[in-house]
Structure 1
Amino acid sequence: MSHFTWVALFGGMGMFLNPIKKRIARTAQNKYILIRLKQRRLYLIVNEKVFFSFKIAIGKKSTPTPKGQFKIIDKALNPGGAFGTRWMRFYKGYGIHGTNNPFSIGYAITNGCVRMYNKDIERLFPLVPVGTKVIITD
């Protein structure tokens, strides 16, 4: 089964951001996502400083979250179902997404995707343009 049902087109969320966050959203070269699997944390790094830190769920032992360096390939608003309110694909069928099961956050329970609370991915989503680097490490 695919890690997502469909990819919807992402629209102009930038109009809802304050001016500082608008600048951050437009400049992918000085920011990236760092995922620390053992910590079960996702960090948005801007100018080499932690801008946001979020608790996440990761892949279980039989379907681990891939490690390495990737980029956000595409994004979807309200993909529905198990993917919650936002989806950001970084490799094949793997993505960073919301959830319809908030009690799973903090556990190794997914099929390899990185799962976040919907409120957290809704904060992250408009700040991460397609092309943003994603680093996943132990």
Structure 2
Amino acid sequence: MCIPVAPSPVQIIISIAAKTLSLYREGRLIKSYPVAIGKPTTPTPLGTFTIINKQVNPGGPFGTRWMGLSEPHYGIHGTNNPASIGTAASNGCIRMYNDDVNELFNQVPVGTVVTIY
């Protein structure tokens, strides 16, 4: 499946099959990161969303950063269980290594388009 990359300033594309999050700037790939996705009983939602809020040190199992999506109760966040990265382990959110989510957090503003396929 080919997902069009918009020439917007910043865009995130998440591949459920590859378990990767790719960051694009002005249509050009900047970096790809390994992620954990939702487990079969709580799958990650598919579609196009936006980042609606960001939080540093959200507490609980969310690692060091939280980026909430326009799909209620879902987001991109760090993890206190790094062994889960690369697996289908979450309750539907996208989990990242804390160092990776810290790096991403600093590059994406509220309003960033996130496509999950």
Does the Cα contact within 8 Å between 2:8 and 2:27 map onto a contact in 1?
Answer: no
Deviation at 1:49, TM superposition (A): 1.5
Q: Does 1:75 align with 2:54?
A: yes
Counterpart of 1:124 (choices 83, 91, 104) is 104
Q: What residue is the counterpart of 1:107 in the other structure?
A: 87
Write the mapping of 1:1-138 to structure 2, written as runs, cut at 5 A.
29-90=8-69, 91-137=71-117
Q: Where does structure 1 lack aligned partners over 5 or more consecutive residues? A: 1-27
Q: What is the DSSP-based 3-state SS (H/G/I as helix, E as strand, rest coil) of the residue aligned with 1:124?
A: helix
Q: What is the RMSD computed on CA atoms of the aligned residues?
A: 1.1
How far apart, CA to CA, are the structure 1 residues paired with 2:100 and 2:60?
Answer: 17
How far apart, CA to CA, are the structure 2 residues paired with 1:88 and 1:128?
Answer: 9
Give the TM-score, by structure 2 length.
0.91
Q: Where does structure 2 lack aligned partners over 5 or more consecutive residues? A: 1-6
Deviation at 1:69, TM superposition (A): 0.3
Deviation at 1:47, TM superposition (A): 1.8
Q: What is the DSSP-based 3-state SS (H/G/I as helix, E as strand, rest coil) of the residue aligned with 1:38?
A: coil
Structure having the higher Rg: 1
Give the percent of matched residue pairs that are identical in Structure 1 and Structure 2: 53
Q: Which amino acid counterpart does residue 72 of structure 1 have in structure 2?
A: I
Does the Cα contact within 8 Å between 2:8 and 2:26 map onto a contact in 1?
Answer: no
Q: Which amino acid counterpart does residue 88 of structure 1 have in structure 2?
A: M
How far apart, CA to CA, are the structure 2 residues paired with 1:37 and 1:110?
Answer: 12
Deviation at 1:48, TM superposition (A): 1.5
Q: What is the DSSP-based 3-state SS (H/G/I as helix, E as strand, rest coil) of the residue aligned with 2:106?
A: helix
Deviations along 1:11-62, one digit per CA (max 9) or x if unpaired, are xxxxxxxxxxxxxxxxx93220000000000000112111011000000011
